Structure 1
């Protein structure tokens, strides 16, 4: 599909995070007008200085009604043609200590409510898009990431449902699933775990280019990494095989994620997606 980027108004949530900033820079190069939002005003100001063109910056918390309303009003004035639901948070460690409500609110409830509020704006455009940034963990349940996995499984299912519900309309829904990515949200435990498991880790720029590809090629869904796609398919077809493979890694996972205090996670771009396919054997 030929996208006229100069005519696009794109809202990116979680723009103050690593992947969000990469999205902003890639789309700035394309010439689109961006509405960039996040909770970290300082990082948004730094991002503003790094972009070539003039864009709209809004400090807002999408987990709050007031924050979502602020964005909806801005999108009504411009108006928005592409929504990238990128903001998210994670929790690494035992389920008993997981901040379930905040993770579910940020990763699932907030993008659902924001999208619901923006559909009337998107419907005014001849071709509009909603991209939900998920995770490799939206297809694979993984120890020490249970709450995060739950939200990404749900995000994937919600996106798929809307893709089918809006078939033939002017609004298209897409799902982008990164794997592990080098960003500040990954604390030392996650870094050590990725190293211990030999996981492939991408830069945020790789994820940004995948977003461009998804939109330009009009893909309903795009998962980064051939091995990750194969592993997800195996998990869907033969989950017992994956159960046994991951059970062999459990002691390593627990050693890196349960042995240290769990730092607070911050609203940021979705970045904690581990590549596990290389560990099947």
Structure 2
């Protein structure tokens, strides 16, 4: 893949930072976005000079934050790819969540992603063969107790990606949906880490996710990509025969509830 310009959201976090480093190692130029300016500056400083990294500290749930990023991308000559990583985790009993908490998760994980993608579409469509990568989750295909709102937001990302893949199939935009399993990042609360340990769930490093993004881009075509075994099997089985997953998770409810904050 020849050198191109990618914008990576959530670059001040573990997965976003790892994706930025992997793209830079391939010789691509980068526009980095995140809420933590100090971490973005540190990341930009350690990337190779060829990355010509520009960083924008902004809150993408706000219109002015998205506008600042879109302007930075235009100033960089436009972008050939958008990697939507920014988001938040949420492990909570749904009955104890308030309206603001629900809205915050949906806005951060779904609405902001949709709005930023819409705002950057003119730049992406101007570059034939541009790539849109949306980072979802195994829980975007397999809803999990204690993750009702998070799962809903990631199911939304799955549906958004699928619709765009079909809507722009004849306009040269490659749309990739990538669903990691549990990943070692600061987004995981202590309760989530404890539950993963109790259930024996494997957790990947952010570098594993970053390499999966590169593989998706190398394929040169739109697609869906699931990480991890047996998680990818369970996600697909849930779509084909959800009653089996209902029964399996029913047996785990007591364990899950013990770890809920």
* 2:4 counterpart of 1:45: no
CA distance in 2, matches of 1:136, 1:237: 15
Q: Write the deviation string for residues 57-100 of structure 1: whole angstroms up to 9, x where unpaired.
A: 11011000000011111222221110011100121111133311
Does structure 1 residue 95 correspond to structure 2 residue 97? no
Quote how far apart the aligned CAs of 1:49 are. Answer: 2.8
- In structure 1, C-alpha distance between the alignment counterparts of 2:127 and 2:249, rounded to whole Å: 46
Partner of 1:12: 8
Deviates further, 152-161 or 40-49: 40-49
Partner residue in 2 for 1:35? 31
Taking only aligned residues, the RMSD between alpha carbons, in angstroms, comes to 1.1
- Given candidates 233, 238, 247, the residue that maps to 2:250 is 247
Q: After the TM superposition, which residues 219-230 of structure 1 pair with which residues of structure 2 at under 5 Å, given as runs?
A: 219-230=222-233
1:81 alignment counterpart: 80
Gaps of 5+ in 1: 259-281
- Give me the TM-score of the superposition, normalised by structure 1: 0.88
Structure 2: stretches of 5+ with no match in the other structure? none
The CA deviation at 1:48 is 2.1
Aligned residue pairs total 254
Length-normalised TM-score, structure 2: 0.95
Q: Residues of 1 paired with 2:129 and 2:44: CA distance?
A: 27
Q: Which of the residues 226, 241, 255 maps onto 1:238? A: 241
Larger relative contact order, structure 1 or 2 (CA cutoff 8 Å, min sep 6): 1
1:132 aligns with 134
Runs of 4+ off more than 2 Å? none
Structure-to-structure mapping, 1:179-258, within 5 angstroms: 179-218=181-220, 219-258=222-261
- Cα distance in 2 for partners of 1:193, 1:107 equals 22
